[in-house]
């Protein structure tokens, strides 16, 4: 296992920025095998203004995006010149949403590598809140040159 990756290092690894950066910390990782990320969900997130007024729920597509960004951190740890590469989210299979994610939740993003090739990856992703599954999916990605 490894030391946590703080936000400043995440910003060096992936190109996402506010308001679309959806991983706050990587708690642990095992290169080329597994990664665990964390997203602190706050009421200040811009999407809560419209999803839904009076009953804020994190959109499922953004939970999946948080998973994909966490996967990108693991993938880009292997790339020396990240300024020349991007990781694109290319597919999603077996996606299920099990419970809503709301302001105040800590979204734990656990991904296990199924296949990792030089330009493509497949990972099993599970997002939990308080130990309960909020979402799960099989994610596919590809590395492309900028």
* Full set of structural domains in the chain with CATH: 7-145 (3.10.129.10)
- Confirm if 110 and 126 have CB atoms less than 8 A apart: yes
- 15-21 average pLDDT score: 96
Q: Is 51 annotated in the active site?
A: yes
Q: Given the residues 9, 51, 122, 124, select the one marked as catalytic.
A: 51
Confidence at 1, pLDDT banded by 50, 70, 90: low
What is the spatial distance between Cα 92 and Cα 122, in angstroms, rounded to a whole number? 9
pLDDT at 2 over 90: no
- 38-43 average pLDDT score: 98
pLDDT tens across 57-110, in order?
999 999 999 999 999 999 999 998 888 999 999 999 999 999 999 999 999 999
pLDDT of residue 36: 98
Residue 54: which region, alpha, beta or left (left: phi > 0; alpha: psi -120 to 50)? left
Alpha-helical segments (H) within 50-142: 60-76
pTM of the model: 0.97
pLDDT of residue 89: 95
Residue 19, both tokens: 């308001």
């Amino acid at each position: 296992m490894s030391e946590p990756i703080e936000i400043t290092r995440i910003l060096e690894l992936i190109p996402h920025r506010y308001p679309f950066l959806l991983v706050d910390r990587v708690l642990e990782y095992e290169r080329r095998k597994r990664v665990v990320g964390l997203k602190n969900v706050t009421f200040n997130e811009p999407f809560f203004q419209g999803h839904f007024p009076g009953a804020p729920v994190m959109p499922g597509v953004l939970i999946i995006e948080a998973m994909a960004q966490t996967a990108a951190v693991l993938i880009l740890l292997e790339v020396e010149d990240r300024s020349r590469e991007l990781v694109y989210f290319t597919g999603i299979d077996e996606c299920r949403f099990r419970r809503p994610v709301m302001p105040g939740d800590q979204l734990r993003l656990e991904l296990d590598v199924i296949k990792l090739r030089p330009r493509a990856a497949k990972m099993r992703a599970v997002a939990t809140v308080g130990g309960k599954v909020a979402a799960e999916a099989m994610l596919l990605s590809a590395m492309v040159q900028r």
